[in-house]
Amino acid sequence: MAQGPNPLAIRTKKYQQDKNDYTRMALVQAWGKTWWHALIPLVLFLLPAVFSFSWWWVAGAIIITLLFVLLRSAQVMSVTQVEQGSPLFEKLTYEVDQRQILLRRNEREGMALTWDMIERAQKKNEGYMLWLQPPSDAQLPSGWKGWVARTFQVPVFIHMPFRIFNSPNDLKLMDSYLRRKNLIS
């Protein structure tokens, strides 16, 4: 027997995440945590200038560092371009209950996210950010490729602005769900 919709579920208005907003938030998150990674190539390529100063070493260090920053930023921005990321940017409604979060394209099509697929949540000024779990070590390649995948991981999240919720009670219930699941304090 098929189950009907949960009467305690939060149903939101349709919402489509803007790719530019997503990119901006993802870049802030990625560089906020790992800004010091950009110092590594700068320091490494400035070391020869300490022993034998030349403007070529300084210029080379700056160019290599800028290339690193551009490459890392392009990696973060690629989430908006790959096919696997396209469900994040479709017009969806969300149904949140104690078991899962349903991302619905229409009445028949959708995707379920269980609460264990969410690593953490943040309540910002404009809405909730639900950060998805990164891949486990078993899912990553081994060796140096696995190290690179773990070190330069791209943040993937769902942004749910407050304006898509239908009432203040829905916001309180969402807060309650996030606190019960220990995703937000």
Residue recorded with tokens 């995707």? 111
Question: Does residue 26 fall inside a structural domain?
Answer: yes
What integer pLDDT is reported at residue 149 of this predicted model? 72
Question: Does residue 7 fall inside a structural domain?
Answer: no
Phi, psi of 162 (to 5 degrees): -60, -30
Pick from 68, 85, 102: which residue ends a domain? Answer: 85
Pick from 31, 65, 85: which residue ends a domain? Answer: 85
The closest of 76, 68, 65, 82 to 28, measured between CA atoms, is: 76
Quick check: 11 and 166 in contact, CB under 8 A?
yes
What integer pLDDT is reported at residue 53 of this predicted model? 84
What integer pLDDT is reported at residue 74 of this predicted model? 87
Please check whether residues 101 and 164 belong to one and the same domain: yes
Please check whether residues 73 and 105 belong to one and the same domain: no
- The domain total for the chain is 2
What integer pLDDT is reported at residue 66 of this predicted model? 93
Question: Does residue 146 fall inside a structural domain?
Answer: yes
Domain carrying residue 116: 91-184
What integer pLDDT is reported at residue 67 of this predicted model? 93
What integer pLDDT is reported at residue 65 of this predicted model? 92
Question: Does residue 99 fall inside a structural domain?
Answer: yes
Neighbours of 123 (CB within 10 A): 15
Strands of the chain (E only): list them.
Answer: 10-11, 93-96, 100-104, 110-114, 118-123, 127-132, 157-161
What is the model's pTM? 0.76
What integer pLDDT is reported at residue 30 of this predicted model? 83
What integer pLDDT is reported at residue 63 of this predicted model? 94
Q: What is the pLDDT along the chain (185 residues), one digit of tens a residue?
A: 345 566 678 889 999 888 888 888 888 888 888 888 888 889 988 898 888 888 898 999 999 999 999 988 888 888 778 777 777 788 989 999 888 898 888 888 888 889 998 998 999 888 999 988 887 777 778 888 877 777 777 778 888 999 999 999 999 999 999 999 998 86
What integer pLDDT is reported at residue 164 of this predicted model? 93
The whole-angstrom separation of Cα 163 and Cα 124 is: 13
Please check whether residues 100 and 170 belong to one and the same domain: yes
Up-side HSE of residue 111: CA atoms within 13 Å toward CB?
Answer: 11
Pick from 85, 104, 122: which residue ends a domain? Answer: 85
Residues forming a β-bridge with 100: 114
End-to-end CA distance of the chain, in Å? 38
What integer pLDDT is reported at residue 112 of this predicted model? 87
Please check whether residues 22 and 79 belong to one and the same domain: yes
Phi, psi of 175 (to 5 degrees): -55, -45
Quick check: 25 and 157 in contact, CB under 8 A?
yes
Please check whether residues 110 and 169 belong to one and the same domain: yes
Please check whether residues 102 and 137 belong to one and the same domain: yes
C-alpha dist (Å) from residue 125 to 98, 159, 163: 24, 12, 11
